[in-house]
């Protein structure tokens, strides 16, 4: 899937941009890039569906950047709370490992 960074449209295949290049006494059209089929912008990127929120975005670890940021904030809050009451953060490793294997 592709998402336009100009208008936000999502499509399965972008349109092709062609440049006319002189060839002898005529011109030949060569593909030179991709463009959004909705608005014509060439500011498009390949995207996937985020496994957590379902948004179409550039993903890392199957998650969009907003979900990664949300998880980071939640983990930071938990670690700050554990540190604040003097609990060893190794307990988080144990909890995460148990949850991943459940």
Confidence (pLDDT) at 88: 84
pTM of the predicted model, to two decimals?
0.64
Over the chain, what is the mean pLDDT?
91
Which pLDDT belongs to residue 53? Answer: 95
pLDDT band at 20 (very low <50, low <70, confident <90, very high): very high
Asked if pLDDT for residue 102 goes beyond 80, the answer is: no
Q: How many CA atoms lie within 13 A of 31 on its CB side?
A: 6
Upper half-sphere CA count for residue 101 (Cβ side, 13 Å): 6
Task: Please check the confidence at residue 39 and state whether its pLDDT lies above 90.
Answer: yes
Per residue in 81-98, pLDDT (tens digit) is 888 888 888 888 888 888
- Lateral strand order in the sheet of 44-46: 10-11, 2-4, 44-46
Q: What was the pLDDT predicted at 83? A: 86
């Amino acid at each position: 899937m592709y998402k336009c960074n100009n208008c936000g449209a999502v499509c399965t295949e972008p349109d092709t941009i062609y440049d006319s290049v002189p060839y002898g006494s005529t011109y030949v059209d060569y593909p030179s890039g991709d463009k959004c089929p909705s608005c014509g912008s060439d500011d498009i990127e390949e995207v996937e569906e985020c496994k957590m929120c379902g948004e179409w975005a550039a993903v890392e670890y199957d998650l969009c950047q907003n979900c990664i940021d949300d998880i980071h904030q939640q983990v930071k809050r938990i670690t700050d709370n554990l540190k604040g009451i003097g609990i060893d953060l190794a307990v988080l490793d144990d909890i995460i490992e148990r949850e991943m294997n459940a």
